[in-house]
Amino acid sequence: MKIDRRDFLKLSGGSVVAASLLSGGASFTFAKKVEELNLPKPSRNSPRVVVVGAGWSGLTVAKYIKMGNPNVDVVLIDKRHEFFSCPVSNLWLVDLVNLEFLMHDFLTPAARHGYHILTGTSVIDVDRNARKVYTDKGAIGYDYLVLAPGIDYYYEAWIKDPKDIELAQVRYPAGFIPASEHIRIKQKIQNFEKGVFVLTVPPGLDYRCLPAPYERATLIAWYFKKNKINGKVVLVDNHPDPPVKAKGFHYAWDNIVKDYVEYYPNAGIKSVDVAGRKISTEAYGDISFDDGAIYPICRAGDIVFKAGLVKKGERWPDIDPLKYHAVGDERVYVIGDSRNQPFSKSGNTANTEAHYVAKLILAKIAGKDIAYEPPRTLCYSAVAPDEAIWIDLTYKYLGGGKFEFANVKLDEQPKESNYKAYIEWAKGLYRDMFA
């Protein structure tokens, strides 16, 4: 299945009408005095919650705040005009699901639950003293602010020259910020003829979705095998093994896609020569490649930095590990993949913690408190058509900002029943966000 003109129109927003309560689109220049956006509230005294980022966490928290208390005014802001899911996108890259399975409109849930949706809107800055969010369409005051912008990339650890960073983004996009990167990678997979298709895994456990790079490598290898492409996937990993579901991935590499995957663990990536198509490692020397996707180290989305929530030299915000609000500012929350707790940066985690944060904010508005609820990470990985593995766990707080896995269940034997559950899992979470 090739990407046709209709798919490109969907991904570019050509088939989606932007939703906004605004009638103007004047340019915006940051200043002390800017035009306030006149958004109606349910009542004069309604508290306002502004949510930045309409991903798996932002959509969920906006919906459940409104469902919990319709008198709370909620404004959801996103720079995109439509939703494109990063979870499940690996299946789309190799034609196992269609584009409609990933894309959803922002308008339906906003209309159904009564929150404001400002699409195609860029958030420029946050003034926490004045409690205002500055966008390219004007300023919005808030009583509570939820930042859910997802991840950004930190290429500088591997690539020093800004020109080379730009080259890497264009030629070898990571594919973990939707949706243009995904389109580019899908084109690469479809057009690949021979040689080495490289994928990298960042070090640590704070990149988006721990098993996703391994799932992607396995599915691309399956695609090459199915289409008799004279190439192989080289997975360059900074870990000694996949952090989760390792047995399942090794089973797939040894049996389902044998001879189409080369796994380089404990690589110790030092640098990436983008123009020379070469990755320098501590363990294996230089690894040359013909094409691929360079997934660098991650950091919080840019607006989290602009809000002054990240300490100098750090990549993630300083927030209360149990309450999600900024240290020293209980009116600003960071959720989803930009938060700093050592939870998997995955869809199910973002969705379940957003449920909890919605309860936290509603309790705060009501002058109450609630008990801590850890998120749940239920994560499926496909290794071939109709075959998948999974892990299901929660987290136990140990104190001092430290957590450990709790109630761990997993199935690392690829099965058709697991694959069917994978698809139903995605459908269920879509319903939770959009219905």
pLDDT score, position 18: 32
- Rounded Cα–Cα distance for residues 32 and 305 (Å): 20
The pTM of the full predicted model, rounded to 2 decimals, is 0.92
pLDDT score, position 346: 96
- Find, among 149, 29, 101, 80, the residue nearest to 430 by Cα: 101
Instruction: Please name the helix (run of DSSP H) or strand (run of DSSP E) that holds residue 400, with its range, or none.
Output: none
CB atoms within 10 A of CB 200: 27
pLDDT score, position 160: 96
The tokens describing 194, both together, are 């021979």
Check if 5-150+301-365 and 161-298 are the same fold: yes
CB burial readout 61-72, b (16+ within 10 A) else e: bbbbbbeebeeb
Which residues are CB-neighbours of 152 under 8 A, at least 6 positions away?
177, 298, 299, 300, 301, 302
pLDDT score, position 27: 34
CATH architecture observed for domain 5-150+301-365: 3-Layer(bba) Sandwich (3.50)
pLDDT score, position 19: 35
- Rounded Cα–Cα distance for residues 139 and 281 (Å): 47
Which residue ranges make up each domain of the chain? Answer: 5-150+301-365, 161-298
- Rounded Cα–Cα distance for residues 85 and 322 (Å): 27
Instruction: Please name the helix (run of DSSP H) or strand (run of DSSP E) that holds residue 325, with its range, or none.
Output: strand 325-326
The tokens describing 367, both together, are 């002058």
The CATH number of 161-298 is 3.50.50.60
pLDDT score, position 33: 56
pLDDT score, position 203: 97
Show pLDDT as tens, one digit a residue, over the chain (435 residues). 445 434 433 444 433 333 333 323 333 344 445 789 999 999 999 999 999 999 999 999 999 999 999 999 999 999 999 999 999 999 999 999 999 999 999 999 999 999 999 999 999 999 999 999 999 999 999 999 999 999 999 999 999 999 999 999 999 999 999 999 999 999 999 999 999 999 999 999 999 999 999 999 999 999 999 999 999 999 999 999 999 999 999 999 999 999 999 999 999 999 999 999 999 999 999 999 999 999 999 999 999 999 999 999 999 999 999 999 999 999 999 999 999 999 999 999 999 999 999 999 999 999 999 999 999 999 999 999 999 999 999 999 999 999 999 999 999 999 999 999 999 999 999 999 999
Distance of CA 138 to the CA centre of its chain: 27
Which residues are CB-neighbours of 122 under 8 A, at least 6 positions away?
79, 135, 136
